[in-house]
A and B are shown apart, each in its own frame.
Chain A
Amino acid sequence: MKYLPFELHTHTQHSDGDFIVSELIENAKKAGLAGIALTDHNTYSGYNEASDEGKKLEVLVIPGIEWTTFYGHLTVLGGSASNDWRVVSPATIKENVLSARKSGACIGVAHPTRVGYPICTGGWDDFLLKPSEYGIFTHYEVWSYLNPSVQHANLLSERKYASICEENIRLACVYGRDWHRGDSNVVYAATYLGIQGDLSIDNALDAIRNGRTYISCGLHAIFVLNDTNGVEYNVGARVRAGEYRFSGKISYFSDYYTKLNSIEYMEISLIGNGGNYTVPINKDGFFEFNLKCKEKKYLQPVVYGNVKGIYSKLLLATPYFFE
Chain B
Amino acid sequence: MIEAKTKQNLLVWSLKKVFDKKDDRKHFKYTFLIDSNNYDSLIILFRYNPKDVKVDERLKMCLTELAIKSDCDAELLIKENKELKNLITLSIDSPHGYLGAAHRHNNNAKIIINQLKSSQGFLPSPITKGLWAITLSTHCILSNKVDVKIEVYAQ
Question: Which A residues lie at the B interface, using CB under 8 A?
Answer: 12-16, 40-46, 68, 70, 81-82, 84, 86, 113-119, 121-122, 124, 152-153, 156
Contact = CB atoms under 8 A, between A and B. Distances in A.
B137 A86 contact: yes
Interface in B58-108: 59, 62-63, 66-67, 69-72, 77, 81, 84, 87, 89, 91, 97-101, 103-105
A288 to B, nearest CB: 37
B50 to A, nearest CB: 14
Contacts of B97: 82
Contact of A14 (B27, B98, B105, B120): B120
Interface residues on B, range: 35 or more
Given A117-B66, A117-B140, A68 B72 contact: no
Identify the interface centre among B25, B84, B91: most chain A CB within 10 Å of its CB. Answer: B25
A68 B100 CA distance: 12
Given A86-B91, A118-B62, A153-B70, A43 B137 contact: no
A70 B77 CA distance: 21
B66 A42 contact: no
Contacts of B49: none
The 4 closest A-B pairs by CB, nearest first: A41-B103, A43-B100, A42-B101, A70-B25
B28 to A, nearest CB: 11
A43 B101 contact: yes
A121 B86 CA distance: 10
25 contacts: A12-B120, A15-B103, A16-B103, A41-B103, A42-B91, A42-B100, A43-B100, A43-B103, A43-B121, A43-B122, A45-B118, A45-B120, A68-B103, A70-B25, A70-B139, A115-B77, A116-B70, A118-B66, A118-B142, A119-B63, A119-B77, A119-B81, A124-B69, A152-B71, A152-B72
B91 A118 contact: no
Given A40-B121, A115-B66, A16 B142 contact: no
B71 A156 contact: yes
Contacts of A46: 120
Secondary structure at the A interface, as helix, strand, loop or mixed, is loop
Contact of B87 (A15, A113, A121, A152): A121
Given A14-B120, A45-B120, A70-B25, A119 B66 contact: yes
Contact of A113 (B67, B70, B84, B140): B70
A209 to B, nearest CB: 25
B101 A41 contact: yes
Contacts of A15: 101, 103-104, 121
A84 to B, nearest CB: 6
A118 B105 contact: no
Nearest to A15: B103
A121 B140 contact: yes
Contacts of A82: 97
A156 B70 CA distance: 9
